[in-house]
Chain A
Amino acid sequence: MIGAGIKRGTAELAVLSILEDGPLHGYEMARQIEQQTKGALRFTLAALYPMLYRMEQRGWIRGAWEISSSGRRKRCYRLTPAGKKKLSPLRKEWAELFGALKRLTKVSHA
């Protein structure tokens, strides 16, 4: 099980990555992240929305109201150009971190 601190750090990367494939509303975003990470990352409503609003304030994502086929109003989030720009260095940072940890654990087990 991944610890809470690491989860918090990866949450923004997860949201940006999932939105790279297309716009999604909050519930669908949480469901897809959970499915794709096989349950390692799980967002409750309380964890997801403050983060989405914060990312929207930063201009990384943009929400717009849309009406689904069931007639329900939903706020769909899209990646903005700023968000796309943010995604690539974030990915690199996390890849470097995990690479470093991998090397470290190999060394300590040698």
Chain B
Amino acid sequence: MPDWQELVRQRLSSLALDAEEKDEVQVELAAHLEESYEVFCKEGLPEKEAVHRTFEQVADWLDLQRRIFIAKRTGYPMQKRVHQLWIPGFLTMALSIVFLVMLQKLGFNPRMVSWRDSDIFFYAPWLVSLPFLGAFGAYISSRAGGSRRTALLASIFPALALTLTFLLMFPIGFIVERIIGSQVDFSIVAASLLRDGIDWILVPGAALLAGGLLMHLLFSLRSSWRETAIG
């Protein structure tokens, strides 16, 4: 029997996908050819004829390679991005904001920790909720077919959005300073940004990421459990 894996690998060697995706395509196509060949053999065809009939399924490997590449790289990339990243990301962010506002309305005060002459705020109940929200974002993204990277990006989306806001504050602050003509001590601004970065980005981001990673782990375990159950 021919080595179908090797034959497909040779014929689709120039398939311009990333290594993992290319390998998956090659394994899948080889399994199809192998099954076709086995059925032809069971039908009583001599081995040579069975190989010939199996190969007849692909008249032009270069054309197949091109069509697979187009199919994998086109489709509806924007729609995919919306369902796998933007919707889960914005949902995670909206829920985290709503939960924080609710806690403030209910009168929960942040815990203050002194660090280098400044106070860092920690909303403990809010921080406790963030791993769940991160897991929620990763779950929605994974359900929409998002890759591990996309799912984790969706889970830490609120922290990323805040990072972007903080980064924008620098040039905007600089422009405002120029307009009003006042001299602001840069060390004060830097200390304030560092403190707020820890309060609102680093610690919440780590909590969100922990939830996202946990959800990803659960998804991986579920997949391997399914494989074992079927095997």
Contact indicator B57/A44 (Cβ below 8 Å): yes
Q: Which residue of B lies closest to A45 (CB)?
A: B57
A74 nearest in chain B by CB position: B31
Contact A57 B231 (CB under 8 A): no
A8 beta carbon closer than 8 Å to chain B:
no
A64 sits at the interface (CB 8 A): yes
B29 touches A49 (CB 8 A): yes
Contact, CB under 8 Å: B70 / A50 = yes
Known: A59-B144, A73-B27. A46 touches B230 (CB 8 A): no
Contact A45 B29 (CB under 8 A): yes
Q: How far is the CA of A50 from the CA of B67 in the complex (A)?
A: 6
Interface size of B by CB at 8 A reads: 38
Does the CB pair B231–A49 fall under 8 Å?
no
Report the Cα distance A25→B27, complex, angstroms. 13
Task: Determine if B93 is an interface residue (Cβ-Cβ < 8 Å).
Answer: no
Instruction: Tell me the minimal C-beta distance from A23 to chain B in angstroms.
Output: 10
Q: A44-B57, A46-B59, A73-B31 are in contact. Are A53 and B227 (CB under 8 A)?
A: no
The prevalent SS among residues of B at the interface is helix
Assembled-state Cα–Cα distance A65/B227 (Å):
8
Tell yes or no: B43 within 8 A of A by CB.
no
**Interface size of A in residues (CB-CB distance below 8 Å):** 29
Distance in Å: Cβ of B86 to nearest Cβ of chain A: 14
Q: Which chain A positions have C-beta within 8 A of B35?
A: 27
Q: Which residue of B lies closest to A65 (CB)?
A: B227
- CB-defined interface of B45-71 with A at 8 Å, one 1/0 digit per residue? 000000000001111100110011011
**A62 touches B (CB below 8 Å):** yes
B75 touches A54 (CB 8 A): yes
Chain A residue with Cβ nearest B83: A59
Contact residues in A for B59 (Cβ distance below 8 Å): 46
28 cross-chain CB contacts under 8 A: A25-B31, A26-B32, A27-B35, A45-B36, A45-B57, A46-B58, A46-B67, A48-B32, A49-B25, A49-B28, A49-B64, A50-B67, A50-B68, A53-B72, A56-B145, A57-B71, A57-B72, A57-B75, A58-B75, A59-B76, A59-B144, A62-B145, A65-B223, A65-B227, A66-B226, A66-B227, A69-B230, A71-B231
